[in-house]
Amino acid sequence: MRKGVDRSRLRGATAFAILAAMDERTETISVDGVERQVTSSDEWHGALEALRVKEKELTRAHDALAAERRRGPWMRVQRDYNFEGENGPKSLVDLFAGRRQLIVYHHMLKPADPAPCPGCGMVGDQIPHLSHLEQRDTTLVFVSRAPIAEIGAFKKRMGWNVPWLQTTDTFNADFDVTGGFGLNVFYRDGESVYRTYFTTGRGVETLGTIWTFLDLTPLGRQEQWESSPEGTPQTPPYRWWRLHDQYE
């Protein structure tokens, strides 16, 4: 019996119709050539509740993995790197834009690219409004081997606002991106820069929300419910959230 339904209060034809619908058994139908199970309301909600248990287990597993990632070892970046931006040359420290955390997506756009990577294009299409990341001391940029003029033209075509720079040295190869795509995370302490995380392949396919990006960083979401190393700055959840045009 579905929770919240009191049979004693149901009367007449309406009651009969509701109860009959709730008590009918599962049937198998074919929709667009695929077999589907059609069930009663009770059975549908029961299946959903069983699935929800597994979803919550997965959420907790993601939280535990992010906590482990925040406690992972760092690697000191031993040299500087050069980039070309829309307004001239930039160093690796410059890419942080004064913030402590930097997420770099290595987009596969190459010089005179006749067929830009559609997978990288989908990543670009799902980038969130950057102001939310910036409120958590995090900068997100794209880098590519294509000349900055070609980057600018393609960025305009796609309607993207993410900062995008040309790599002019061995930055990609030095951080495990050799011919494909990838994502690196860095942390800045003054002029010292550390590499904290890297992923590629299916590791980037779930990215696109503020939370999935912040979960890759050493500071995380910086909310008090998170398990993070002692001393990590944290605030109450929800309190820092704003519409993207309301941040100071």
pLDDT tens for the 248 residues of the chain, in order:
344 445 445 455 665 555 455 455 789 999 999 999 999 999 999 999 999 999 999 999 999 999 999 999 999 999 999 999 999 999 999 999 999 999 999 999 999 999 999 999 999 999 999 999 999 999 999 999 999 999 999 999 999 999 999 999 999 999 999 989 999 999 999 999 999 999 999 999 989 999 999 999 999 999 999 999 999 999 999 999 999 999 98
Q: Residue 58: what pLDDT?
A: 97
Q: pLDDT tens for residues 139-169?
A: 999 999 999 999 999 999 999 999 999 999 9
Q: Residue 179: what pLDDT?
A: 87
Give the residue carrying structure tokens 């950057």: 130
Whether 183 and 105 have beta carbons less than 8 Å apart is answered as yes
Q: pLDDT tens for residues 97-115?
A: 999 999 999 999 999 999 9
State the Cα–Cα distance between residues 28 and 37, nearest whole angstrom: 5
CA dihedral 191, 230, 203, 151 (to 10 degrees): -30
Task: Sketch the domain layout of the chain as residue ranges.
Answer: 74-214
Q: Residue 25: what pLDDT?
A: 73
Q: Which two tokens stand for residue 207?
A: 């990215």
Question: How far out from the chain centre does Cα 119 lie?
Answer: 15
In degrees rounded to 5, what are phi and psi of residue 179? 95, -15
- pTM of the complete model: 0.88
Q: Residue 9: what pLDDT?
A: 52
The CATH T-level fold of domain 74-214 is: Glutaredoxin (3.40.30)
> Ramachandran region of residue 63, left (φ > 0), alpha (ψ -120 to 50) or beta?
alpha
> Ramachandran region of residue 190, left (φ > 0), alpha (ψ -120 to 50) or beta?
left
Give the closest residue to 85 by CA, choosing from 32, 30, 144. Answer: 144
Q: Residue 135: what pLDDT?
A: 97
